[in-house]
């Protein structure tokens, strides 16, 4: 799941663009962020990208549109949440958030 998020960040970033990963533990959960400075995601697509075959930028960047749907399934099966934030402007990028419980079986709020 994390490989997919980092791979997407690289795919939608300019050549040599930086990707930032951050993780912190808070209240029995771990919150991981994957941040890029690439194309960004239009606001109306932020939920669609987690659906099967959902894409923010059509087929021009490759992929099948399944990776984020699979990532969501993995995160949810582990009692977590996944979402994306983006101002939707090129160069402003996107931030993907994953929140997972530190202890299995305790859902993340």
Cα–Cα distances in angstroms (integers) from residue 104 to residues 75, 84, 101, in the given order: 12, 23, 6
Indicate whether 53 pLDDT > 60.
no
The angle formed by the CA atoms of residues 4, 9 and 33, to the nearest 5 degrees, is 80
pLDDT at 106: 60
pLDDT at 83: 96
For residue 63, give both structure tokens. Answer: 């992929």
- Contact between residue 32 and residue 22 where contact means Cβ atoms under 8 Å apart: yes
């Amino acid at each position: 799941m994390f490989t997919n998020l980092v791979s997407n960040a690289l795919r939608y970033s300019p050549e040599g663009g930086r990707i930032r990963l951050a993780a912190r533990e808070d209240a029995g959960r771990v919150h991981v962020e994957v941040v890029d400075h690439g194309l960004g995601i239009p606001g109306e697509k932020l939920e669609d990208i987690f659906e099967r075959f959902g894409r923010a930028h059509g087929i021009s960047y490759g992929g099948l549109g399944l990776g984020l749907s699979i990532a969501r399934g993995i995160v949810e099966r582990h009692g977590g949440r996944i979402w994306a934030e983006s101002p939707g402007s090129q160069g402003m990028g996107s931030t993907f958030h994953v929140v997972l419980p530190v202890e299995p079986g305790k859902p993340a709020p």
